[in-house]
Amino acid sequence: MRALKDEGVKFIFGYPGGAALHIYDAIFKQKAFEHILVRHEQGATHAADGYSRATGKPGVALVTSGPGATNAITGLATAYMDSIPLIVISGQVQSHLIGTDSFQETDMIGISRPIVKHSFVVHDTKDIPRIVQEAFYIATSGRPGPVVIDIPKDKTDPNHLYDYKREKKVSIRSYQPKALPHPGQIKKASKNILSAERPVIYAGGGVILGNAHKELMALNKILKVPVTNTLMGLGSYPANNKYFMGMLGMHGTYQANMAMHNADLIIAIGARFDDRITNTPALFAPKARIIHIDVDPASISKIINADIPIVGQVKESLTALIKEIKRSKLKMDSDALDLWNSQIATWRAKHGLDHELYLKKTKSKMILPQVVVQELYQATNGNAWVTSDVGQHQMFVAQYYHFNKPRRWINSGGLGTMGFGLPAAMGAKLAYPKDEVVCVTGEGSIQMCIQELSTCLQYNLPIKIININNEALGMVKQWQDMNYGGRHSESTYQDSLPDFVKLAESYGHVGIKVEKNSDLKNALEKAFSMKDRLVFVDVYVDPAEHVYPMLVANNSLEDMWLSKDKKT
Amino acid sequence: MIKRKLILIMENKPGALVRVVGLFHQRGYNIESLHVDPVDDFSSYKFIEEKLETKFKENEISRLTIQTLVSDSLMRQILRQLNKLIDVIAVSNEETTYLKGVLLDENLL
């Protein structure tokens, strides 16, 4: 407990059980932090993860051995894929029982090994302070990630007292996460940038994790070049800035994908050229030289070869780059850059997203999911912390909710974990109780962690849930429409959905059902007027709607579906 | 694809070896042969001790020799991924040595 307190922990999300009972007894006797009792261990890990994404501080989850530990696995994998600092403490059976198939025994270290940055087993009680300190250090430094601490029950026996000792500074000789950018590489990068004619900044989640959004803005105040964000990078550059092109990739905007494909220089910052970004790597950005800034050397030239690799923390690297560009005698060709920026404006005008769908009169009573997101943006003035689950609704938020600040967009990008949204919103709400926290979800995803509605009641977490209900697994259905002749294999369940209004009410919350366009705005206003209540807004939308643009598989970034029957 | 040799120096801690072997499996690399020894004679690793400002003690570190069948580009990726493991101190192939993110001229081979 004291080790956790010394790390500045405010909340622990957990679920008790036999092997963790000594720890839980100690929690009962302390006041340094609050324990949040979730209803499923997956919820604990996602809530801790959401807290971490919202605050930048490591989230902490506590689970028992066996099923408690295995239920935490999805949350660990989610955090691992998005490089989120998360500490999962798992109880373990007593040391002398390990390996005997005893009750609730699972090899947690073995199961979690491929999805953690590192893991520790407590072999000796007096190692606990050192291990906790090292775990937090590893989780938060370099490229962040989840760390597991597995503690056999006998190692938390309150009768085993020891002298608590905390080191002033953690140092692990086989772990040196501080990476400063190589000055030669910075010079080379600056030279390439200043002689480029069609440059693009491609910024990812690393900018947010590395708290470098200010440096990114400062860089582009000088350069004035088009910027695109990955799904994880949204908010690292203000969406309302005129150089912002929107998200790129699978469901990226037309102008962002076209700009990447036609660029002569790509400045990749804290992004990892994921397959949802590149489409076919061999056909990716054929005319571009690549500058790649990343704290993790293994991310550089993993998928797309970098012409100028820069290994370093994003903040330090951008600061050095800005300094070098200011010092340089070279000047960008402003005519070429104007031409490039106007080319992007042309692309935007031709096939860009329509951000004013909500203002248009429509004869259809059916609500468009895009309009729900646009109305949500209006209702929250763009200031909400928005979590999402996974599927069409997630893409609609990424496309239509303009994130102007970092960390406000909280979603499972890498792993694509359905069920993430609600518990993540709990973490964000605990971190920022006065702010509006919204979970945009679908009727499929929400049912994967719906039990956490009970946790929200217990701790009075007035989150707003916007359920974009198309009565189907929308993204699966879209793929089936496009690639499987419209055969909706196991992706629909219209006749067996719960009444979400009654469901919310049974958990002590407020439920609102919306079926008509004309009711949407009022329903959202009503929901946000109830400051102290969790409101579940169940919005029935047009089930036939697809997410566009969508990259055409096995092609390049300029090959997109723009609608059901139109391709670039 | 050519058979290539890798040498790793790592902390002699429980679970360290399985992290290395697991990484090969997880990322789809193949191990042709593997050999592990505890290191007691540190005379050839003085350069590591100097760079890390540490002194190795008896039974503290192990030396792994791994042979693997891979292409050039994959070899680089394997080196970088191995170098990321917390318990791995240094890793070399014929051309390159990584010591926790730093490229070295010295080689473990």
For chain B, the straight-line distance linking the first and the last C-alpha, in angstroms and rounded, comes to 20
What pLDDT score does B107 carry?
Answer: 86
Whether B91 is in a domain gets the answer yes
Whether B80 is in a domain gets the answer yes
> Which residues from B are below 8 Å from A119, CB to CB?
15
pLDDT band at B1 (very low <50, low <70, confident <90, very high): confident
Interface check for A114 against chain B (CB to CB < 8 A): the answer is yes
Residue of B nearest to A298 (CA): B80
Q: Is-contact A443 A391, C-beta < 8 A?
A: no
What pLDDT score does A361 carry?
Answer: 85
Whether B35 is in a domain gets the answer yes
A226 min Cα distance to partner chain B (Å): 31
What pLDDT score does A366 carry?
Answer: 93
Domain count, chain B: 1
Look at residue A551 and give its three-state secondary structure: strand
Mutate to test the interface with A, among B25, B100, B102 (most CBs of A within 10 A): B100
Q: How far apart are CA A266 and CA A62, in angstroms?
A: 42
Kindly provide the ipTM of the predicted complex, given to two decimals: 0.93
Q: Is-contact A117 A136, C-beta < 8 A?
A: no
pLDDT band at B103 (very low <50, low <70, confident <90, very high): confident
- B84: nearest CB among A172, A173, A298: A298
What pLDDT score does B76 carry?
Answer: 86
Name the nearest CA neighbour of A464 among A530, A557, A520, A403. Answer: A530
Whether B109 is in a domain gets the answer no
> Which residues from B are below 8 Å from A173, CB to CB?
52, 54, 89
Q: How far apart are CA A39 and CA A106, in angstroms?
A: 21
Residue A8 falls in which region: left (phi positive, over 0), alpha (psi -120 to 50) or beta: left
Range of the domain at B48: 2-104
From the list A258, A418, A475, A550, the catalytic residue is A475
Whether B79 is in a domain gets the answer yes
- A176: nearest CB among B76, B77, B100: B100
What pLDDT score does A160 carry?
Answer: 84
Mutate to test the interface with A, among B19, B84, B85, B88 (most CBs of A within 10 A): B84
Q: Percent of chain B scored above 90 by pLDDT?
A: 55
> Which residues from B are below 8 Å from A175, CB to CB?
86, 100
Contact (CB<8Å) B77/A113: no
Whether B52 is in a domain gets the answer yes
A299 min Cα distance to partner chain B (Å): 9
Look at residue A532 and give its three-state secondary structure: coil
Interface size A-B, in CB pairs within 8 Å, comes to: 45
Please tell me the pTM assigned to this model: 0.96
pLDDT band at B106 (very low <50, low <70, confident <90, very high): confident
Contact (CB<8Å) B100/A174: yes
Interface check for A311 against chain B (CB to CB < 8 A): the answer is yes
What pLDDT score does B28 carry?
Answer: 86
A326 is catalytic: no
pLDDT beneath 70, residues of chain A: none
Tell me the pLDDT tens digit for each residue of B2-22: 889 999 999 999 899 999 999
Task: Name residue, tokens 């990078």.
Answer: A233
What pLDDT score does B71 carry?
Answer: 82
A104 min Cα distance to partner chain B (Å): 22
Look at residue A295 and give its three-state secondary structure: coil
What pLDDT score does B102 carry?
Answer: 78
The CATH number of the domain holding residue B6 is 3.30.70.260
Whether B82 is in a domain gets the answer yes
Strands (E), A204-337: 227-229, 244-247, 265-269, 289-294, 308-311
Whether B96 is in a domain gets the answer yes
